[in-house]
């Protein structure tokens, strides 16, 4: 009898142990499943891009194809250029500045012309384009291959904060992005605070094309605005059919300041490269402006308030490098603590991890 009781007790114990073991296994399996689901959620992020589209992507992105030199500069400034596996020719053309990219492995000419097959071949986690890229077509072409398309604006001052911080989130380099943002934001705040209540100087801004100016809505216009100047074509620009203007109109509006962009001859049209134009190129541009018929009556010419930027130099950090130069040129007596050359040097060495190069910015006084 006692043996039977022992046997029954042992049997009941084994059954109980087996049951508990099964429950534990189910609990462990459930926990594992939940962890996997949470992991899947954590591995993606959804951001609103520069054209207002919600884009879900792997997080952090480990492999990106990127078009547009400005986009690649922003990514490098945040500390994630090692995640970019292929670019466009407008970026890769500059063999000094972008030697890390192979010109035989580009995905197209620029941000409006690229080869979808070459993008797909790279099997990227994301394809980063520009706001002027054909983003709807691009999304439709790449969606079957699970390649998200993200439009980024890295050439407009007003978009600087949002796009720097989103770039940090995309690549998981938030700390580097924040450092980059804070450096340039401090310069902008200094300009804004010190120019409050100061009468704005009027500015005629000319692109690399003679008599082609800029209107509100463009990054060049924002250079003027953020520098504390006033675009002479800001108020009635909607009455113009294009940015190509009659030189007589500049004479009539009599700007205080003239800004002219030039680019190196070897650069692809409309783009900029690390190697600046020669000083002789800048001097030639200066002589051409002061020799224009009737322009000797313009205040900017009479006072030699004529300034030159290379296409490469002005575009640094969402055009904030160009903004800082223009602001100091216009108001040197007020912005005594602003040092544009130091800013450009920091942009090159600290944020682009590249050697500083002189010769991208000149005043008319230096070119006489």
Q: For 261-286, how does the pLDDT look when each residue is reduced to its tens digit (9 = 90+)?
A: 999 887 777 678 899 999 999 999 99
Give me the number of domains the chain comprises: 2
Distance CA 57, CA 44 (A): 5
The model scores a pTM over 0.85: yes
Residue 18 belongs to some domain of the structure: no
- Single out the residue of 147, 84, 91 nearest to residue 116, CA to CA: 147
Residues 225 and 326 placed together within one structural domain of the fold = yes
Q: What is the CATH number of the domain that holds 210?
A: 3.40.50.1980
Residues 168 and 204 placed together within one structural domain of the fold = no
| 259: helix, strand or coil | strand
Structure tokens at 150: 């993200």
- Single out the residue of 317, 310, 309, 244 nearest to residue 271, CA to CA: 310
Q: What is the pLDDT at residue 33?
A: 54
Residue 95 belongs to some domain of the structure: yes
Residues 109 and 231 placed together within one structural domain of the fold = no
pLDDT at 20 over 80: no
Residues 317 and 244 placed together within one structural domain of the fold = yes
Decide: 46 and 54 in contact? Cβ < 8 Å. yes
- Digit-coded pLDDT (tens) for 126-167: 999 999 999 999 999 999 999 999 999 999 999 999 999 999
Q: Provide CB contacts within 8 A for 48, sequence distance 6+.
A: 54, 55
Q: Domain limits at 141?
A: 44-173
Residues 90 and 150 placed together within one structural domain of the fold = yes
186: confidence class by pLDDT, cuts 50, 70, 90: very high
Other C-beta atoms closer than 10 Å to the C-beta of 320 total: 24
The position carrying tokens 């090692």 is: 82
Decide: 75 and 33 in contact? Cβ < 8 Å. no
**Buried b or exposed e, range 289-308, using 16+ CB within 10 angstroms:** bbeeeebeebebbeeebbbb
Residue 294 belongs to some domain of the structure: yes
Residues 251 and 332 placed together within one structural domain of the fold = yes
CA trace torsion 216, 136, 128, 116 (10° rounding): -130
């Amino acid at each position: 009898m006692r043996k039977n009781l022992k046997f029954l007790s042992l049997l009941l114990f084994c059954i109980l142990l087996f049951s508990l073991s099964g429950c534990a296994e189910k609990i462990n399996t459930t926990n594992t499943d939940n962890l996997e689901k949470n992991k899947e959620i954590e591995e993606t992020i959804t951001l609103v891009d520069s054209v207002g589209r919600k884009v879900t992507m792997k997080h952090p992105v480990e492999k990106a194809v990127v078009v547009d030199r400005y986009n690649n500069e922003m990514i490098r400034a945040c500390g994630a250029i090692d995640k970019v596996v292929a670019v466009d020719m407008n970026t890769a053309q500059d063999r000094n500045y972008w030697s890390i990219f192979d010109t035989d492995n580009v995905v197209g000419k620029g941000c409006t012309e690229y080869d979808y097959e070459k993008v797909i071949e790279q099997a990227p986690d994301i394809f980063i384009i520009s706001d002027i890229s054909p983003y709807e077509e691009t999304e439709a072409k790449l969606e079957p291959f699970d390649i998200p398309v993200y439009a980024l604006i890295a050439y407009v001052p007003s978009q600087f904060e949002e796009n720097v911080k989103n770039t940090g989130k995309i690549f998981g380099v938030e700390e580097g992005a924040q450092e980059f943002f804070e450096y340039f934001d401090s310069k902008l705040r200094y300009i804004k605070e010190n120019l409050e209540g100061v009468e704005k100087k009027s500015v005629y801004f000319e692109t690399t094309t003679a008599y082609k100016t800029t209107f509100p809505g463009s990054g060049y216009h924002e250079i003027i605005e953020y520098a504390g100047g006033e675009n002479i074509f800001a108020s009635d620009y909607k009455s113009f059919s294009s940015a190509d203007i009659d030189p007589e109109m500049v004479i009539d509006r009599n700007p205080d300041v003239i800004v002219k962009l030039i680019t190196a001859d070897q650069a692809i049209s409309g783009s900029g490269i690390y190697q600046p134009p020669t000083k002789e190129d800048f001097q030639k541009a200066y002589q051409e402006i002061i020799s224009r018929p009737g322009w000797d009556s313009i205040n900017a010419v009479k006072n030699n308030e004529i300034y030159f930027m290379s296409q490469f130099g002005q575009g640094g950090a969402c055009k904030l490098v160009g903004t800082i130069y223009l602001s100091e040129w216009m108001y040197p007596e007020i912005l005594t603590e602003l040092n544009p050359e130091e800013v450009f040097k920091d942009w090159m060495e600290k944020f682009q991890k590249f050697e500083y190069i002189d010769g991208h910015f000149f005043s008319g006084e230096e070119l006489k």
